[in-house]
A and B are shown apart, each in its own frame.
Chain A
Amino acid sequence: MNAPTRATASQLLDNERFWRIFVWTVLLAGACVMFLPFLWLLSSSLKTELAIFRYPPDWIPDPIQFSNYVDAWTTRPFALYVRNTLVILLLNEFAVLVSASFCAYGFARIDFPGRNVWFAILLATVMLPGIVTMIPQFVIFSRIGWVNTILPLTVPFFFGGGAFNIFLLRQFFRTLPSELADAAYIDGASEIIIYWRIMLPLAKPALATIAIFTFIGTWNDFMGPLLYLAKDPNKFTVALGLAMFRTAFAGRTRWDLLMAASTMMIVPVIFVFFVAQRYFIQGIAISGLKG
């Protein structure tokens, strides 16, 4: 008795059109769920303090209060926080791009005894959680007087620029044809010259990927500033400033302003994502697959 239903079921299963519509519907439903928190954030950021506590909540704020953004921006010196973050960011971008590409060139293009051992160590440190060294690093940095400075958040990046970034660039360097370098060898160029003049310009797409990951990492970092900059409000980064902003209003939580401030922190990240989407995809492809 089941036979006819089974046949239709399997026919349906192999029907291309049915699948396309089914898949599209599921994806659309999922996308709506994923997008809902963003809509909620944006909507709440434009509500008055009174409208925030209206229940059931409205999706379209009435009235629309753009001044939340101004209030959030000025209640605490967010312009200063942005400046502080940008200083750290610029230093880290420079450190990571130069240092990681320099090390990656060694791993990718020079054959020397012990290279594989060091590469294994590199891969191991990609896996190792940085959290483990958090406490002893704090002890050491406070001993040498680096707490309340940006040094602990920047100096380590000058030493290799992060194992993951070295790995990513190494994978990229290995894909470049060696004929380019060979011609330069014959002309008597040294490895440093080949690295700087030939390989680095060719690695621009991979460098862009790393620059973007470094931007996201620095902009989003909370643990670092919390450990080293939390004592001095004049040194806060945006992440730290936003975390402290939660308790800026004695006794009550100003969700309207908090949502506006959060939106302002998210927007640059999303902007960079849209501008540089293809580098994101590239980075994922290199790191996730060839690894």
Chain B
Amino acid sequence: MAVQAHRTRLPWPRTRRARRALTGYLFISPFILGFFLFFVGPALVAAWLTMFDWNMIRPPYFIGLGNFTKMFNDDLFYQSLKVTAYFSLVSVPVGLVLSFLLALLMNFKTRSIALFRTIYYLPSIVPAVANAVLWSFILNTEFGLLNALLDSIGLPKIAWLQEPEWAMPAIILMSLWALGATMVIYLAGLQGIPRSLYEAAEIDGAGRWASLINVTIPLMSPVIFFNLIIGIIGSFQIFTAGFLITGGGPQHATLFYVLYIYRNGLQYFDMGYASLLAWVLFFLIFALTLIVFKYVGRYVYYEDVGS
């Protein structure tokens, strides 16, 4: 009887279904805990902080919507949005198109494909700091590689990092050096398209161009869409290049949004304002992702929706 009583007190559920549910939640519990501790918790703290003026030393001072007013009157806030949008609008489409074209060429099964793939992919795993140091030197006005190349074909030297209108193109160029990461994702997708579809298209009289438009692009649209979303989200988070190469300058021409958050939080210790900026970034990315899903997502072709 004692054993029986002991058993009923155990929290271990009796039915097989309930036991499985408990086991399932046990397995994913680290993720659930982490989600609340390192995501939901901090996000709520940030939401609360947006209403305070707080430098982490003095006690927080309630200012209500004061940080919102500050943001709407903050020229640098608009500047950082503009800069980030500029970077995103150029680097994402150009990167997507170039890497797609490269993947198409590489899928041609010509000689030395493995070597080419490696060479194109390597820049994308170069550590951000080493990359920034290397490119500060490449972009150096007097002794840099880029100007030496321009000079050798008779073009004038450009003060890449000193002139506000050239700093962003320079950073975009640097970001494009890493397009191999996107390219290999495309390449994996291209290699997954069954040969039989191309053979069928050929029998129907389709040339290269027609099979590209009617077979390759529709079948690749989920991968293109994936890369577009990842590309947009990634481009909004650019930080290291602006922080290390240009310091946000010249004349705030490369004051990326995340760099501006970092400055407000970790340099001016204006935690309320920095939290607000972070939330705004969250909503921007969220809204942008929704818009892309709604207006671009409908063109994505899913082959096996039924299965």
Q: Which DSSP category, helix, strand, loop or mixed, fits chain A's interface?
A: helix
A168→B97 CA distance, assembly (Å): 26
What's the tally of chain A residues with a CB closer than 8 Å to chain B? 93
Among candidates B20, B122, B177, B275, residue contacting A110 with C-beta atoms closer than 8 Å: B20
- The chain B residue with its CB closest to the CB of A26 is B105
B123 touches A34 (CB 8 A): yes
> Bound state CA distance, A132 and B30, in angstroms?
21
- The A8-61 residues at the B interface (CB cut-off 8 A) are 10, 13-14, 19-20, 23-24, 26-28, 30-31, 34-38, 40-41, 44, 52-53, 55-57
Say yes or no for B79: interface residue by CB 8 A criterion.
no
Interface residues of B in 223-249 (CB under 8 A from A): 223, 226, 229, 233, 236-237, 239-240, 244
Chain B interface, number of residues (Cβ within 8 angstroms): 92
Q: In the complex, which residues of chain A have a beta carbon less than 8 angstroms from the beta carbon of B123?
A: 34, 37-38
Contact status B24-A110, CB under 8 Å: yes
Which residues in A have their C-beta under 8 angstroms from that of B226?
288, 291
Instruction: Decide yes or no: A37 and B192 within 8 Å by CB, A127-B233, A132-B282 being known contacts.
Output: no
Whether B27 lies near A102 (C-beta < 8 A) is yes
Whether a CB of chain A sits under 8 angstroms from the CB of B305 is no
Q: What is the CA–CA distance of A114 and B281 in the complex, to the nearest angstrom?
A: 29
The answer, among A37, A138, A166, for a CB contact under 8 Å with B266, is A138
With a CB–CB cut-off of 8 A, which chain A residues contact B125? Answer: 216, 220, 269-270, 273
Q: Are A289 and B192 in contact (CB under 8 A)?
A: yes
Which residues of chain B are near A38, meaning CB under 8 Å? 122-123
Does A99 make an interface contact (CB < 8 A)? yes
The CA-CA distance from A163 to B281 in the complex, in Å, is 20
How far, in Å, is A198 (CB) from chain B's closest CB? 15
Tell me whether B188 and A13 are in contact (CB under 8 A).
no
Q: Is B214 in the interface zone, CB < 8 Å from A?
A: no
Distance in Å from the Cβ of A227 to the closest Cβ of chain B? 7
Establish whether residues A136 and B145, one from each chain, have CB atoms under 8 Å apart when the complex forms.
Answer: no
B211 to chain A, nearest CB (A): 12
Question: Do B233 and A106 have beta carbons less than 8 Å apart?
Answer: no
Q: Residues of A contacting B151 with CB < 8 Å? A: 56
Determine whether the beta carbon of B278 is less than 8 Å from that of A243: no
Bound-state CA distance A135–B31 (Å) is 21
The reply to whether A110 and B281 contact each other, CB–CB distance below 8 Å, is no
Nearest opposing residue in chain A for B140, CB measure: A255
- 1/0 per residue, CB under 8 A from B, across A213-231: the answer is 0001001101100010000
Chain B residues within 8 Å of A200, by CB = none
* A99 and B30 in contact, given A37-B145, A265-B129 (Cβ under 8 angstroms): yes
B31 / chain A contacts, CB cutoff of 8 Å:
103, 118, 122, 159-160, 163, 166
Instruction: From known contacts A112-B25, A281-B188, infer whether A135 and B278 are also in contact, taking CB-CB under 8 Å.
Output: yes
User: Are A129 and B180 closer than 8 Å at their CB atoms?
Assistant: no
Given contacts A103-B31, A127-B229, A284-B184, contact A135 B46 (CB under 8 A): yes
B20 touches A289 (CB 8 A): no
Residue of A nearest to B262 (CB): A134
Q: Is A131 an interface residue (CB 8 A)?
A: yes
> CB of A133 within 8 A of chain B?
yes
User: Which of B23, B37, B110, B229 is close to A27, meaning CB atoms less than 8 Å apart?
Assistant: B110
**With the chains together, A110 CA to B24 CA distance in Å?**
6
Instruction: Check if A206 is an interface residue, CB within 8 A of chain B.
Output: no
A265 touches B127 (CB 8 A): yes
CA distance A125 to B144 in the complex (A): 40
Give the interface segment out of B68-76, B88-96, B131-139, B295-303: B131-139
Chain A minimum-CB-distance residue to B275: A135
Q: Given A34-B120, A227-B266, are A289 and B143 neighbors across the interface (CB < 8 Å)?
A: no
Contacts of B39 in A (CB 8 A): 125, 128, 133
A239 contacts chain B at the CB level, 8 A cutoff: yes
**Chain A CB within 8 A of B217 CB:** no
A258/B133 contact (C-beta < 8 A), A20-B108, A133-B38 known: yes
- Minimum CB–CB distance for B302 against chain A, Å: 12
A242 near B130: Cβ-Cβ < 8 Å: yes
Query: Contacting B133 at CB < 8 Å: which of A26, A105, A216, A262?
Result: A262
Q: Which of B28, B122, B128, B133 contacts A118 (CB 8 A)?
A: B28
Name the CB-closest residue of B to A244: B129
**Do A23 and B244 touch across chains, with their CB atoms under 8 A apart?**
no
Q: Which 3 A-B pairs have CB atoms at the shortest separation, nearest pair first? A: A106-B27, A159-B34, A112-B24
B interface residues, Cβ below 8 angstroms from A: 20-21, 23-28, 30-35, 37-39, 41-43, 45-46, 49, 56, 102, 105-106, 108, 110-112, 115-116, 118-123, 125-130, 132-138, 140, 142-143, 145, 148, 151-152, 177, 180, 184-185, 188-189, 192, 207-209, 223, 226, 229, 233, 236-237, 239-240, 244, 258, 261-262, 265-266, 271, 274-275, 278-279, 281-282, 285, 289
Q: 7 new A-B pairs (CB below 8 Å) besides A27-B116, A131-B239?
A: A37-B135, A135-B46, A135-B274, A136-B46, A239-B127, A255-B140, A265-B129
